[in-house]
Amino acid sequence: MPALEHGRLFDDVSVATLIDVGANRGQFSLLVRHRFPKARIHAFEPLAPERERLQAVVSAPLTCHPVALGATRRQATFHVTSKRDSSSLLLPGATQQAASGVTRTGSITVQVERLPDVLDVAGLPRPILMKLDVQGGELDVIAGAASVLPLIDAIYTEVSFVTLYEQQPLATEITTFLDQHGFALRGVYNHFFSPGIGPTQADFLYVRSARSPRATAASASGEAAASLRHEHA
């Protein structure tokens, strides 16, 4: 089934290309395919059964990448959990078990890549939405993609307000990093509360800010051109 809980997102963003990081069985990609039938989808999912299901349910144009994304290229242990969509490069902690009943059931070795080393983002149709659902690894994915962030129009990511995975960056760190790279927080969706814990997770939408480096450069270029026109008038 498509991830219908994310449907309201598309009142705020349009998609010509989806970069679906932590695509799982294709729930989010399937929703994008329904709303934007011609969108190109690049899905990243290291778990083979989930990736195979995604390929079976999401129609072309679709490219599946059998790797995890992160800040550096490496091989790493991927922790498989009792709820497989909670599997992660980070080890789940006691709070994750308390919040969602998630426990570690095993592990596999996966290849971790940086987004720009796998995908020619400059060649993708715009607007580009990058969606992240990587169970605590969001900041590593974004940091690894820093060189191509100016080409991405919106980022939709799950964030946590409490530490569910060991060494997990929380919502404030992700927001600060993206603010420094020209993105503003635009909306909050699907706020999840855990009994006995309180506010636990939500989905944050960030969009390229008017004061982003690219926008600032374009503004400066426009001001320079206007100055030249004035001088030659």
Calculate the dihedral angle through the C-alpha atoms of 103, 1, 155, 86, rounding to the nearest 10 degrees: 0
Across the chain, mean pLDDT equals 90
CB 80 within 8 A of CB 106: yes
Domain ranges of the chain: 4-231
Predicted confidence (pLDDT) per residue in 12-64, tens digit: 899 999 999 999 999 999 999 999 999 999 999 999 999 999 999 999 999 99
Q: pTM higher than 0.75, yes or no?
A: yes
CB 39 within 8 A of CB 18: yes
Q: Which of 161, 28, 21, 135 is nearest to 78 (CA)?
A: 135
Q: Which DSSP state fits 10?
A: G
pLDDT higher than threshold 50 for residue 225: no
Q: What is the DSSP string of 165-222?
A: BTT---HHHHHHHHHHTTEEEEEEEEEEEETTTEEEEEEEEEEE-TTSHHHHHHHHHH
Q: What is the mean pLDDT of residues 112-123?
A: 98
The CATH architecture annotation of domain 4-231 reads: 3-Layer(aba) Sandwich (3.40)
Contacts of 78 (CB under 8 A, 6+ apart): 46, 47, 68, 87, 88, 89, 107, 108, 109, 110
Calculate the dihedral angle through the C-alpha atoms of 111, 120, 15, 149, rounding to the nearest 10 degrees: 80
d(CA 61, CA 56): 13
Q: What is the DSSP string of 103-151?
A: -EEEEEEEEEE-HHHH--GGGSPSSEEEEE--TT-HHHHHHHTGGGGGG
pLDDT higher than threshold 60 for residue 113: yes
Predicted confidence (pLDDT) per residue in 54-101, tens digit: 999 999 999 999 999 999 999 999 999 999 999 999 999 999 999 999
Q: What is the mean pLDDT of residues 178-200?
A: 96
